[in-house]
A and B are shown apart, each in its own frame.
Chain A
Amino acid sequence: MEETKNKKVIHEFLEDPRYRQCNKEALLGLGLGVLNLIWWFAWGYGLGSKPIENYSYVFGLPMWFFMSCIVGAVLFTSLAVLMVLKYFKDMPLGELSEEEAARMREMS
């Protein structure tokens, strides 16, 4: 196989083993942001588009506002905390030696 490799093929190198986890965390953050937007939009415009006379109220605030902004803020703050505690992994940030990198590859 080695000999048949075309010269043009870019020679393979082993990627930093930490990046897989990093990419996963970035996608989680992005996903949480998009969910946050959907929650905010659905409650805000779902209930808020009714005629104002027909609004219902929770703790004195219009229902759309309470659900979209107050509950949304508390919920997504809690989800962010959960995301970090449950899915974010600790790792060294500095240079890795080849041995450390190999060990991390085996572990993942």
Chain B
Amino acid sequence: MSSEINFDVLIPLVLYLVFVFAIGLYSSKYVSWAAQREGKGFFVEFLVGNRDIGGFVLAMTLVATYLSAGSFIGGPGAAYTYGLAWVFLAMSQMPTGYFTLSVLGKKFAIVARKINAVTITDFLKERYESKAIILICSLSIVFFFTAAMTAQWIGAARILEGSVGLPYRTALALFGSTVLIYTIIGGFRAVALTDTLQGIVMAVGTIVLIVTAVIAGGGISNIIQKMYEINPGLLSPYSIDPNFMSAAWVTSFWILVGFAVVGLPQIAVRAMSYRDSKSLKSAIIYGTIVSMVLLLGMHMLGAFGRVLVPDIAAGDLVVPTITTTLFPNWAAGLILAGPLAAVMSTVDSMLLLAVGAIVNDLYANFIKSKVKNNAMITFIASVAIGIIVFIAAYNPPPLLVWLNLYANAGIISTFLWPIILGLYWKRANAQGAIASIVVGIGFYMVFNSYWPRPFGMHVIVLPLAMSLTAFVAVSLFTKRPPQRIIEKFWGV
């Protein structure tokens, strides 16, 4: 692309960012009211939106958070290369909309209110009463999320660079400062509301794109016929390379991106934030419908793109290329807000979690038990994380690549079983939880290097199973948790 700035695309994008700022400003009222509160009151607003999130907003913030840039750039890009098989694989994310919310469900919301938890670490701290667990959990959030955030910032800056023609570093500054400012001034409420706006942008953009693409391609039959002519494998669930897209490997994505997402703190924390049981119901309904539209639409667009724009350099460019081919520039700007929105809505919740881990979990538990100036310390911590991420994205250090490789699996291995068993199994204790974390992360790292597809499955599956076994075995061989914990969690 030319280095000239493409104002037709830039102006709609900037208007969009202004709108996002306005939401941040609106939410900042609530945050500044909460800043007057004593003790934990501030965090209840800043980290879980005063537990006042309605159904539609809950659905949208959940969907927008777990669909990161992957679903808008990487996913369609893979569908471009592998055809319908990748759409098939992507459908393993379908349950997320109903699964996470019904499994954590009202029980998690009730328990969170009982113990006044505002972070996942809060929940684990009360449940296991172990300093080691607080330390492992908060540090893994800070390190893995800082790495993951940096990767997302780089992705967003590249989108801006490619579509608008802004220099990489200017794009990085524009994107980074937007996310930082609205998250810091508005907290969880701003994150949830901007996620909602971003979810709507993504859903509308997806529908417009897929409909236009099918019409431009002369109907579905015609597109499928041409895919067959390019390579018949594009129509098979085994794709063009049955060794790569084996049934065991593709099916194991149901564990990785379908069921185990319950263990992602950015997902689980949302189950603490909603207002009442009606919100949960409508969130499951909206969330499932919206994820169906986004998943099917975006990935089919990628697969059909093979026919519409056959000669692109890399699969990742499929959505931007289709957009700029089929639409006038100003509309392309609006639609490209979709992937950017996907990145923003993922990054903002990671930022909030990392800040929560530093201020609510590490600082309050290990440095000063009575945090007075909560709002001030939160502000300082957020700016500090922002600056670190910015510097890392400016010039990515090798450690970043390494941390990112382990980020998602590391987070899932840390949190999945301690959350689920802590919530549903009275016998679960701290020793079991620590064993499951160590076994999960440890074997994941070993397998990743030496046995990348155990029994044909994705590398995450076996370590998760071993980590569950370790949890149960160690818990049963050690003392049951004290009665007072059981009564706190299960009693009235």
Q: Which residues of A are interface residues toward B (Cβ below 8 A)? A: 10-11, 13-19, 21-23, 25-26, 28-30, 32-33, 36-37, 40-41, 44-45, 48-49, 52-53, 55, 57, 59-62, 64-65, 68-70, 72-74, 76-77, 80-81, 83-85, 88-96, 98, 101
Number of residue pairs across A and B with beta carbons under 8 Å?
Answer: 169
Q: Smallest CB-CB separation from A91: which chain B residue? A: B277
Q: Which of B89-97, B437-445, B455-463 contacts A (4 or more CB under 8 A)?
A: B89-97
B295 to chain A, nearest CB (A): 8
Chain B contacts of A62 at CB under 8 A?
A: 84, 224, 235
Chain B contacts of A92 at CB under 8 A?
A: 276-277
Q: Are A88 and B277 in contact (CB under 8 A)?
A: yes
Contact status of A64 and B237, CB under 8 A, knowing A59-B220, A84-B284: yes
Chain A contacts of B228 at CB under 8 A?
A: 52
Chain B contacts of A10 at CB under 8 A?
A: 483
User: Contacting B224 at CB < 8 Å: which of A48, A61, A73?
Assistant: A61
Q: Are A19 and B91 in contact (CB under 8 A)?
A: no
Q: Are A90 and B224 in contact (CB under 8 A)?
A: no
Rounded to whole angstroms, the CA-CA distance of A90 and B233 in the bound complex is 48
Chain A contacts of B296 at CB under 8 A?
A: 69-70, 73
Rounded to whole angstroms, the CA-CA distance of A91 and B81 in the bound complex is 48
Q: Are B84 and A65 in contact (CB under 8 A)?
A: yes
Q: Are A26 and B281 in contact (CB under 8 A)?
A: no
User: Contacting A93 at CB < 8 Å: which of B101, B219, B224, B276?
Assistant: B276
Q: Are A60 and B220 in contact (CB under 8 A)?
A: yes
Chain A contacts of B492 at CB under 8 A?
A: 14, 16-17, 96, 98, 101
Rounded to whole angstroms, the CA-CA distance of A24 and B205 in the bound complex is 37
**Is B114 an interface position by the 8 A CB rule?**
yes
Task: Report whether over half of chain A's contact residues are helix, strand or loop; otherwise say mixed.
Answer: helix
Contact status of A85 and B110, CB under 8 A, knowing A10-B483, A11-B483: no
Q: Which residues of B are interface residues toward A (Cβ below 8 A)? A: 84, 87-88, 91-92, 94-95, 97-99, 101-107, 109-110, 113-114, 219-224, 228, 232-233, 235-238, 247, 251, 254, 258-259, 276-278, 280-281, 284-285, 288-289, 292, 295-296, 424, 483, 486-487, 490-492
User: Contacting A15 at CB < 8 Å: which of B113, B221, B233, B490?
Assistant: B490
Chain B contacts of A94 at CB under 8 A?
A: 113
Chain A contacts of B491 at CB under 8 A?
A: 13-16
Q: Are B219 and A60 in contact (CB under 8 A)?
A: yes
Chain B contacts of A61 at CB under 8 A?
A: 220, 224
Q: Smallest CB-CB separation from B96: which chain A residue? A: A33
Contact status of A80 and B483, CB under 8 A, knowing A22-B107, A33-B95, A52-B236: no
Q: Smallest CB-CB separation from A74: which chain B residue? A: B292
B150 to chain A, nearest CB (A): 32
A45 to chain B, nearest CB (A): 6
Chain A contacts of B235 at CB under 8 A?
A: 52, 55, 62, 65
Q: Smallest CB-CB separation from B292: which chain A residue? A: A73
Q: Are B107 and A88 in contact (CB under 8 A)?
A: no
Chain B contacts of A89 at CB under 8 A?
A: 277
30 residue pairs A–B, Cβ–Cβ below 8 Å: A22-B106, A25-B102, A25-B105, A26-B107, A26-B424, A29-B99, A32-B98, A33-B98, A36-B94, A37-B95, A37-B258, A41-B251, A44-B88, A45-B247, A49-B237, A52-B233, A60-B219, A60-B224, A62-B235, A65-B84, A72-B91, A76-B288, A88-B284, A90-B278, A93-B106, A93-B110, A93-B276, A94-B113, A95-B114, A96-B492
Rounded to whole angstroms, the CA-CA distance of A52 and B224 in the bound complex is 12
Rounded to whole angstroms, the CA-CA distance of A95 and B116 in the bound complex is 11
Chain B contacts of A17 at CB under 8 A?
A: 492
Q: Are B94 and A18 in contact (CB under 8 A)?
A: no
Contact status of A26 and B237, CB under 8 A, knowing A14-B491, A32-B95, A81-B288: no
Q: Are B281 and A88 in contact (CB under 8 A)?
A: yes
